């Protein structure tokens, strides 16, 4: 109870642009406005072919709805501030970083190598230190998944330095 009160007090003392409510609403409105502007560059159907409304009209209406509703939640949050979540731990950011590493490796080197690297990275950072389990999640399990998808679903995975060893 005391912690909640402390957090509420801390939140009240922050300038409005540091508060979660403002940051979230601002991001939603900002992205929606950019998307709204981009809808003006959609091709226009000539009146003779146009059936009903233009292709840009529906997304425009949705974006305006999202912006309006976001402004309402921001207005309401002034009276009733949102619950403040706990500060995100280091493991969260490391997991997020592992996604980035996955994208880079899968794009440049190999899809399965990327899965292995992410698995060992996440498992290690989440506290696993036993070699067998690290090997299990990073090598044995991805190989089993590969064989399963390859043989049962007849799936062909994207080429890469390791996957090519199997295919060629």
Q: Which spans of this chain sit near other proteins (rule: CB under 8 A)?
A: 20, 24, 28, 35, 38-39, 42-43, 45, 49-53, 55-56, 58-59, 62-63, 65-66, 69-70, 72-73, 76, 82-83, 85-86, 88-89, 91-92, 94-96, 99, 102-103, 106-107, 111, 115, 118-120, 122-123, 126-128, 133, 136-138, 141-142, 145-146, 149, 152-153, 155-158
Q: Nearer Cβ to other proteins, position 10 or 91? A: 91
For the chain, report the end-to-end CA distance as a whole number of angstroms. 63
Please enumerate in sequence order all residues whose Cβ is within 8 A of that of 125, keeping only pairs 6 or more positions apart, or say none: 91, 94, 95, 98
Phi, psi (degrees; rounded to nearest 5) at 40: -75, -15
Q: Nearer Cβ to other proteins, position 153 or 165? A: 153
Q: Nearer Cβ to other proteins, position 10 or 147? A: 147
What stretches of 27-162 adopt beta strand conformation (E)? none
Phi, psi (degrees; rounded to nearest 5) at 44: -105, 135
């Amino acid at each position: 109870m005391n912690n909640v009160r402390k957090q509420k007090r801390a939140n009240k003392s922050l300038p409005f642009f540091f508060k979660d409510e403002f940051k979230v609403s601002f991001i939603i409105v900002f992205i929606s406005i950019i998307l709204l502007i981009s809808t003006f560059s959609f091709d226009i159907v000539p009146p003779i072919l146009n059936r009903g409304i233009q292709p840009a009209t529906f997304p425009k209406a949705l974006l305006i709805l999202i912006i309006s509703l976001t402004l309402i939640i921001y207005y309401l949050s002034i009276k009733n501030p949102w619950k403040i979540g706990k500060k995100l731990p280091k493991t969260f950011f490391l997991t997020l970083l592992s996604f980035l590493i996955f994208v880079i490796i899968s794009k440049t080197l190999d899809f399965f190598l990327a899965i292995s690297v992410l698995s060992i990275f996440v498992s290690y950072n989440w506290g696993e230190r036993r070699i067998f389990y690290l090997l299990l999640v990073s090598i044995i399990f991805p190989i089993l998944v590969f064989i399963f998808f390859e043989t049962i679903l007849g799936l062909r995975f994207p080429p890469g330095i390791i996957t090519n060893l199997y295919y060629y």
